[in-house]
Amino acid sequence: MTPLRFALDWPLNTVHDLAFLRSLDKFTNLRPLDSICTAYPIRLNQRCNIFIMASTRLTPAERSCCTFLSELFLDIRVSPHDHFLIARALRRLDLPIDTIEHMLRYEIFPVLWTNLLNIAGEWGGWDEDWLAGEVEKWRQNPGNLLYRGWLWLWWRYHEDYMMEHWNEIKKW
C-alpha cells in the first residue's frame, strides 16, 4: 500500500475539526476515514487531507471488476442475460458489494462516462490494460473540484440508467 497522498491540507485545531473530518467519509468517494485514521493517526494541530486516497494501484480483482462493469458503458443494449453473466463474474472476485458499487460510480464512471453521450460510441469493449491504466490515473489525480462537480452532474443525469443495471446485477 502506498503512503497517504495529501492533496488538500486542512489544519486540525480542535476536536470538532477532527469529528468533522471523520463525518465527511459518507459524503466523499473515498475509503472510510476511520480505518485510515486508525492506521495513520491524526492528532490535533496536524495538517490532514480531507480527500485521502490510500492506494492508486488496482488489485487483480479490481482490475477484473473494471473490465466486467465497463460493459455497462458500451453502446449496446444490456440484456438480463448480460446482467447474469456480469454478476456471476463479479461474484467470483470475492469483492464486497460496496466496493464494487464504489468502483462503478467513483472510478469507472469518471473514465467511461463520455461513451454514454456518443451516438456512435464504443461497442466492442475496451482494452483491459488501457482501462486499468485510466482508472489508476483517475485514482492518482481525480481532477479539481470543478471537474468533480461536473462529473457529479453527469452522474445524476445517468444515475437512473446506471442504477437500473446495477440493481439488476445485484439481484443475481
| Predicted confidence band of residue 57 (pLDDT cuts 50, 70, 90) | confident
166-169 LR contacts (CB < 8 Å, sep 24+): 166/72, 166/101, 166/104, 168/80, 168/83, 169/83, 169/86, 169/87, 169/90
- 4 within a domain of the structure (yes/no): no
> What is the residue range of 112's domain?
60-171
Can you name the residues that pair with 9 across neighbouring β-strands?
A: 49
Whether residue 153 sits in one domain with residue 93 = yes
Whether residue 64 sits in one domain with residue 146 = yes
Q: Is 131 exposed, middle or buried (0-12, 13-18, 19+ CB in 10 A)?
A: buried
| Predicted confidence band of residue 40 (pLDDT cuts 50, 70, 90) | very low
Whether residue 112 sits in one domain with residue 166 = yes
- 131 within a domain of the structure (yes/no): yes
Q: Is 130 exposed, middle or buried (0-12, 13-18, 19+ CB in 10 A)?
A: exposed
- 55 within a domain of the structure (yes/no): no
Q: pTM for the whole thing? A: 0.66
- 166 within a domain of the structure (yes/no): yes
Count structural domains, the chain.
2
Whether residue 74 sits in one domain with residue 19 = no
Residue 23: the pLDDT is 54
Kindly tell me if the per-residue pLDDT of 166 is higher than 70: yes
- Proportion of the chain in helix, strand, coil states, percent, rounded to 5: 60, 5, 35
Whether residue 105 sits in one domain with residue 26 = no
∠ at Cα 155 (161, 6), nearest 5°?
145
